Amino acid sequence: MKKHIAALAFALTITAPTWAAVKTVTLSVPSMHCAMCPVTVKNALSKVSGVDKVEVSLEKKEAVVTFDDAKASVDALTKATKDAGYPSSVEQ
Ligand SMILES: [Cu+2]
């Protein structure tokens, strides 16, 4: 019986490895100026580990990123856009 409980606990551990929250953050990316910029920004953000969804708007000059709090951080996101040539900051 104990073995079964252990197996169940293990199964739960692998199906739900973390209790991390999924967060959504809006980044202001003021240096986007043409239709190609959002593509570059989106690619850069998508490559960050833990990022689930990226929506970039050239019109609003912002990127809305949904990510796993345990794997990615806002710092990692802003660094990714900066490394791609587009410094960003969190919109309040
Ligand atoms: Cu551009």
- Taking the C-alpha atoms of residue 44 and residue 1, their distance in angstroms, rounded to an integer, is 49
Cα 25 to middle of ligand 1, angstroms: 22
Cα 38 to middle of ligand 1, angstroms: 7
CA terminus-to-terminus distance, the chain = 52
| β-bridge mates for residue 66, sequence order | 24, 53
Question: 19-90 — its CATH code?
Answer: 3.30.70.100
Give the global pTM: 0.78
User: Tokens representing 3?
Assistant: 């073995």
Cα 85 to middle of ligand 1, angstroms: 10
Q: Where are the domains of the chain?
A: 19-90
- φ, ψ for residue 37, nearest 5 deg: -55, -50
- Taking the C-alpha atoms of residue 87 and residue 90, their distance in angstroms, rounded to an integer, is 11
Instruction: Supply the pLDDT for residue 22.
Output: 96
Report pLDDT digits (tens) over 13-61: 555 555 779 999 999 999 999 999 999 999 999 999 999 999 999 999 9
Cα 86 to middle of ligand 1, angstroms: 10
